[in-house]
């Protein structure tokens, strides 16, 4: 096996703005501080996995602007294999992240080079996808490329961790390749048809009824629940003081993939992943907030 984990997904620079509270529409608000940090759901998940000691490759794209260096910085330091990462003329993916005093964030993403990660680009990387134990996918690159990556990994007998974030719909055939599908409550509702007011447990059961092998629903401070082989489970979140929740879900997914690559069950992997996510919310930013393998977890 060439890698434990391959991540096919987005790479962004995050322009992080700290504010006392989020602005209302039409309002101008003075913030307290700004930083430019490495982000993007795909890159975040790759860095989370690599910092925990997993051999990790990243398939995606950055642009030709100065933000590319920011976006790649933490991936390089964590030792992620970037040999399949394209550099496209034009802007790198850029996210404006506003973090309020209570740790809650709101994010606007301009895809930039992430939009160039096409079906053909994924197919060019098929050997790397087939050569990793676990393929990790999100929804910040074109969705047909996400579906193709899931097909290639699955056809090679590899495990697919599919994190449908940001919220969107995907063909049920793709969802059925996931083991697990990882979503939050809002993303689960969109997948099941907007407007559903099911409980998280009912949403997980309904997703499993679609023929998805395992389902994980993240609930933030309320923990996580899952369904695997007809059995449901739930785990509490660790209690920590939240500074910034940006990228906590990505830390969870990256750590989950590491546990699965090491042969753990989804529930076992989720237990460690909740601790990794709790570590990350105590610090500012996404990748910069993730633990290294020997850091003590909450």
Catalytic residue (choose from 14, 250, 294, 295): 250
Q: Which of residues 109-168 bind ligand RIB (CB under 6 A)?
A: 109, 140
| Residues 189 and 212 sit within 8 Å (Cβ to Cβ) | no
Reading the block at residue 11, the tokens are 């790479």
C-alpha 214/C-alpha 120 separation (Å) is 29
Cβ-based neighbour number of residue 163 at 10 Å: 30
Q: Which of residues 64-103 bind ligand RIB (CB under 6 A)?
A: 95
Q: Which of 154, 218, 246, 274 binds ligand RIB (CB under 6 A)?
A: 246
Contact window for ligand RIB (CB under 6 A) among 145-153, 204-212, 245-253, 267-275:
245-253
Q: In 52-132, which residue ranges form alpha helices assigned H by DSSP?
A: 67-77, 119-124, 126-130
Residue among 99 and 215 whose Cβ is closer to ligand RIB: 99
| Residues 289 and 280 sit within 8 Å (Cβ to Cβ) | yes
Site string for ligand RIB, 40-69 (x = CB under 6 A): xx--x-------------------------
Considering the complex, what minimum distance in angstroms separates the CB of residue 35 from ligand RIB?
Answer: 12
Contact window for ligand RIB (CB under 6 A) among 10-18, 117-125, 143-151, 189-197:
10-18
C-alpha 10/C-alpha 144 separation (Å) is 14
Residue among 55 and 246 whose Cβ is closer to ligand RIB: 246
C-alpha 168/C-alpha 32 separation (Å) is 33
Considering the complex, what minimum distance in angstroms separates the CB of residue 107 from ligand RIB?
Answer: 5
Q: Could you say whether residue 14 binds ligand RIB (CB under 6 A)?
A: yes
Q: Which of 112, 247, 254, 291 binds ligand RIB (CB under 6 A)?
A: 247
Q: At 53, phi and psi to the nearest 5?
A: 105, 5
Q: Tell me the pairing of strands 93-99 and 105-110.
A: antiparallel
Q: Which of 4, 12, 113, 274 binds ligand RIB (CB under 6 A)?
A: 12
Q: Could you say whether residue 174 binds ligand RIB (CB under 6 A)?
A: no
Judged by DSSP in three states, 65 sits in coil
Residue among 10 and 218 whose Cβ is closer to ligand RIB: 10
Annotated catalytic, 179?
A: no
Q: How many residues does the chain have?
A: 298
Mention every residue, 6+ apart, whose C-beta is less than 8 A from residue 127.
Answer: none
């Amino acid at each position: 096996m060439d890698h434990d984990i391959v991540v096919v997904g987005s790479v962004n620079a995050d322009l992080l703005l700290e504010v006392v509270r989020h602005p209302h529409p039409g309002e101008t608000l003075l913030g307290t501080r700004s930083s430019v940090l490495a982000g993007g759901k795909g890159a975040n998940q790759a860095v989370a996995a690599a910092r925990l000691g997993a051999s990790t490759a990243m398939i995606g794209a950055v642009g030709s602007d100065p933000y590319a260096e920011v976006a790649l910085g933490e991936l390089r330091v964590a030792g992620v294999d970037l040999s399949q990462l394209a550099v496209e003329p034009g802007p790198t993916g850029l996210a404006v992240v506003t973090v309020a005093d209570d740790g809650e964030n709101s994010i606007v993403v301009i895809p930039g080079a992430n939009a160039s990660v096409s079906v053909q680009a994924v197919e060019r990387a098929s050997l790397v996808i087939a050569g990793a134990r676990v393929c990790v996918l999100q929804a910040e690159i074109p969705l047909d490329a996400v579906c193709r990556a899931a097909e290639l990994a699955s056809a090679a007998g590899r495990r697919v961790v599919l994190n449908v974030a940001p919220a969107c719909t995907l063909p049920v055939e793709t969802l059925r390749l996931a083991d697990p599908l990882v979503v939050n409550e809002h993303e689960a509702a969109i997948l099941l048809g907007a407007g559903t007011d099911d409980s998280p447990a009912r949403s997980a059961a309904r997703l499993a009824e679609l023929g998805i092998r395992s389902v994980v629903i993240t609930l933030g401070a309320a923990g996580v629940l899952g369904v695997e082989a007809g059995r449901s489970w739930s785990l509490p979140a660790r209690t920590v003081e939240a500074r910034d929740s940006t990228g906590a879900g990505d830390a969870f997914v990256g750590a989950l993939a590491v546990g699965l690559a090491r042969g753990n069950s989804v529930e076992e992997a989720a237990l460690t992943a909740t601790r990794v996510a709790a570590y990350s919310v105590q610090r500012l930013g996404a990748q910069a907030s993730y633990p290294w393998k020997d850091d003590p977890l909450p």
